[in-house]
Amino acid sequence: MKVKNLRLIVLLALVAAVFSLQSCEGNDPKGPDCNIPNADLTYTLNMKGIIDQHCVSCHAPGSGVAGAVGDFRTYDGIENYLHNGDVLETVVIDKTMPQGGGMSQAQRDSINCWLAAGHPQ
Ligand code: HEC
pLDDT per residue as tens digits for the range 38-75: 999 999 999 999 999 999 999 999 999 999 999 999 99
Q: What is the mean pLDDT of residues 9-21?
A: 73
User: How far apart (Å, rounded) are the C-alpha atoms in residues 50 and 47?
Assistant: 5
Q: What is the mean pLDDT of residues 73-85?
A: 98
Quote the number of domains for the chain: 1
Assigned domain for 46 exists: yes
pLDDT of residue 8: 82
Assigned domain for 20 exists: no
Model confidence at 21: pLDDT above 60: no
Question: Which residue's alpha carbon is at the smallest distance from atom 27 of ligand 1?
Answer: 86
Model confidence at 26: pLDDT above 70: no
pLDDT of residue 62: 95
- Ligand 1 cavity residues, CB under 6 Å: 54-55, 57-59, 65, 67-69, 81, 86-87, 90-91, 97-100, 103
User: How far apart (Å, rounded) are the C-alpha atoms in residues 44 and 96?
Assistant: 24
Residue 68 C-alpha to ligand 1 middle, in angstroms?
A: 5
Model confidence at 120: pLDDT above 80: yes
Assigned domain for 35 exists: yes
Residue 42 C-alpha to ligand 1 middle, in angstroms?
A: 21
CA atoms lying within 13 Å on the CB side of residue 34: 16
pLDDT of residue 22: 54
Assigned domain for 13 exists: no
Residue 78 C-alpha to ligand 1 middle, in angstroms?
A: 11
Residue 47 C-alpha to ligand 1 middle, in angstroms?
A: 16
Model confidence at 24: pLDDT above 70: no
CA atoms lying within 13 Å on the CB side of residue 119: 23
Using pLDDT thresholds of 50, 70 and 90, give the confidence band for residue 77: very high
Q: What is the mean pLDDT of residues 80-88?
A: 97
**83 is in which domain, residue-wise?**
29-116
Assigned domain for 104 exists: yes
